[in-house]
Amino acid sequence: MSRRFPPQSRLALIAALAMSLPLAGCGNMIDRVAEIGKAPSMDPIENPTLDPNYQPVSLPMPAPMADVRQANSLWRQGSRAFFKDQRAGKVGDILTVVIEIQDEAKLANNSTQNRDGSNSAGLDNLLGYEQLLTDIFPDGIDAGNLVNSNSASDTTGSGAVNRSEAIKLRVAAIITQVMPNGNMVLQGTQQVRVNYELRQLTVGGVIRPEDISNVNEINYDKIAEARIAYGGKGSLSDLQQPRYGQQVYDIFFPF
């Protein structure tokens, strides 16, 4: 006779099994069990400078220079507009980062190594003490042929890399720091959820004000110390990586 458990009992059983697993991945697994049948939740909008892992950028800086202004002139040095510069220039200002990465690399390498070695050593005469060897080896020994060794090794290796990446995205970032020389630190995060898959784009780095275009945009290749990450979580992301047990096995298994 078969028994059918109600959905509440099955969820309780799954939760109990998750809690019985090792504590290393317990929290993550419990969160994933709680999200069964639900779309991945988005992170709340937060101040990036309040993150415990946030660190202000510190780079070599030139001596500060005074702002050069022309007498009886309304024009400001470095401005892109006559009346007002609409580009980001202060902490909290927003600008758009244009990411267009077309990366392709091909590399092939083959190596072959062969080595042979032979060594021999003897002790024909040593002030007559070579005769003492017969006491150590009573079955007889040839003092002129004490050691004879041979070694051989053969190594062959080959490797190939064929990579092609294409990313075309736009993300709005916030100025989080203005450095003494006028350069600015930006940080931006974008999350997009499509059905049950959550995609997240993070960009950060140091930019120059003069590299910002008239429409308040900057290309990713103008960002120094750029940190660009694009990933996500959800059902598709889970299928694209090995299970936790397989990852632990690959780390600790030595062969």
Q: What is the pLDDT of residue 35?
A: 66
Count of CB atoms situated within 10 Å of the CB of 17? 11
User: How far lies 99's CA from each of 44, 197, 220, 228, in Å?
Assistant: 24, 22, 5, 9
In the predicted structure, residue 248 carries a pLDDT above the cut 80: no
Closest CA to 226 of 201, 207, 205: 205
In the predicted structure, residue 211 carries a pLDDT above the cut 90: yes
Sorting pLDDT into bands at 50, 70 and 90, what band is 1? Answer: very low
Which element (helix H / strand E) includes 191? strand 184-194
Nearest-angstrom CA–CA distance, 9 and 118: 73
Q: What is the pLDDT of residue 108?
A: 83
In the predicted structure, residue 243 carries a pLDDT above the cut 90: no
Question: 73-79 long-range contacts, Cβ below 8 Å, gap at least 24?
Answer: 78/209, 78/210
Sorting pLDDT into bands at 50, 70 and 90, what band is 3? Answer: low
In the predicted structure, residue 78 carries a pLDDT above the cut 60: no
In the predicted structure, residue 98 carries a pLDDT above the cut 90: yes
Nearest-angstrom CA–CA distance, 203 and 100: 13
DSSP assignment string, 58-101: ----PPP-PPP--TT----TT-SSSS---S--STT-EEEEEEEE
Sorting pLDDT into bands at 50, 70 and 90, what band is 235? Answer: confident
In the predicted structure, residue 176 carries a pLDDT above the cut 80: yes
Count of CB atoms situated within 10 Å of the CB of 128? 7
Nearest-angstrom CA–CA distance, 249 and 245: 6
In the predicted structure, residue 255 carries a pLDDT above the cut 80: no
For the stretch 168-197, what's the b/e string if a residue is b when 16 or more beta carbons lie within 10 angstroms of its beta carbon?
Answer: ebebebbbbeeeeebbbbbbbbbeeeeeee
User: Which pLDDT tens digit goes with each residue over 5-46?
Assistant: 565 565 565 555 555 545 445 566 677 667 666 666 767 767
- Could you give phi then psi for residue 133, rounded to 5 degrees? -65, -25
Q: Mean pLDDT: which of 66-70, 109-113, 149-153, 226-230 is highest?
A: 226-230
Sorting pLDDT into bands at 50, 70 and 90, what band is 89? Answer: confident
